Structure formats: structure tokens, C-alpha cells
Amino acid sequence: MNTEPEKKEKVLTEVWGDTVNIKELAISIILGVIFTMCFYLIGRKIFMSMGTIEENLAKGYALFVGIAGCFIAAVISAKSFRPKRLVAELDSTTDIAEVLEYAHMTPEEEGEALTKVGPDVIKELEDLELYGLLALIPEGANNYKPEYRELAGGQSKKDA
């Protein structure tokens, strides 16, 4: 007989590039609908009962109150349900050869791949100071810059 309490496995999915728990997503959606509609209906009742505002304008103001309810529901959901994503940062002591081995790539394959990427990817690698990867770009390629090897500590693709 097992005395340990059974752990329920959380069902995660990706929505708009973020990993979420489906149960928490459903709760957040329900909260959003409830808060938005309640705020809208309360706002509509208040503005319609004023009598000094035209009906169409009162409905428009009620929409703003409903949007405020939506924001409140979003804040409650954000505070209640933390993101499930994992952020991994490479430190400066990370060996590029280990990273490439983990990715099942050779330094030559990575260098060749980096010759084909756009300037936005190169800029991001520069911003992240991943000069060890940038040093793998072969001479003569469009993305090649000699300073990458200097910034990587003289590491060339032969050293990787």
C-alpha cells in the first residue's frame, strides 16, 4: 500500500510562445469573462441611470468600465498563476564545444549555419556576447568579422 499522496501531473501547453497550465488558463479566462461582464453591466446601469448622458455615450463609457474589469482580472491572474517557462542563461565560462555537442552539431556545421542567418540573429548573438559562437563563422562569409575571434579570446573553429 502506497502511503505517499499521488502527485497530479500538470497538463502544460504552449500559447502564443508561452508555456501555460491548461487548468490555470481556463480559470484565467473565466475570471476575465466574469470581471469584464460584471464591470460592463454595472457601468452600463450606472451611466444609463444618470439621465444626463445620451444612451450611446453611456454604453461607450460602460465599455471603458468593462475594460477596467478585464485589466483587474489580468492582474489577479498574473499574480495567482506564475509563468511555467524555464529561462536558462549561459555564463561566460560555458564551453562552446559542450553546447554544440549538446545540440548534436559540429563547430563546422554551426559556422556554416551562422553564415546563412540574418543580421537580426547576429545582432542578438552580439548583444548576448556569444562571441565563441560568432568566432565559428568562416572567413569570407557575409557575417564574418575578425573581431569576433579576438573577443572570443582567440578561439577559432580549430580550437572549438
What are the structural domain ranges in the chain? Answer: 12-80, 96-151
Reported confidence tier of residue 135, pLDDT bands at 50, 70, 90: confident
Q: Is 60 helix (H, G, I), strand (E, B) or coil?
A: helix
For residue range 14-60, what is the model confidence (pLDDT) as tens digits?
888 777 889 999 999 999 999 999 999 999 999 999 988 899 999 99
Tell me which amino acid residue 55 is.
E
For residue range 94-110, what is the model confidence (pLDDT) as tens digits?
577 777 787 788 888 88
Name residues whose C-beta falls within 8 Å of residue 143's C-beta, 6 or more positions apart in sequence: 114, 115, 117, 119, 122, 134, 137
Which residue carries 468600465 as its cell?
65
How far apart (Å, rounded) are the C-alpha atoms in residues 31 and 93?
A: 45
On the question of pLDDT at 147 being above 80, the answer is yes
For residue range 64-79, what is the model confidence (pLDDT) as tens digits?
999 999 999 999 999 9
In 3D space, the residue among 80, 100, 89, 97 whose CA is nearest the CA of residue 20 turns out to be 80
Reported confidence tier of residue 80, pLDDT bands at 50, 70, 90: very high
How far apart (Å, rounded) are the C-alpha atoms in residues 73 and 157?
A: 52
Return the C-alpha cell found at 81. 498563476
Pairing label, strands 12-15, 18-21: antiparallel
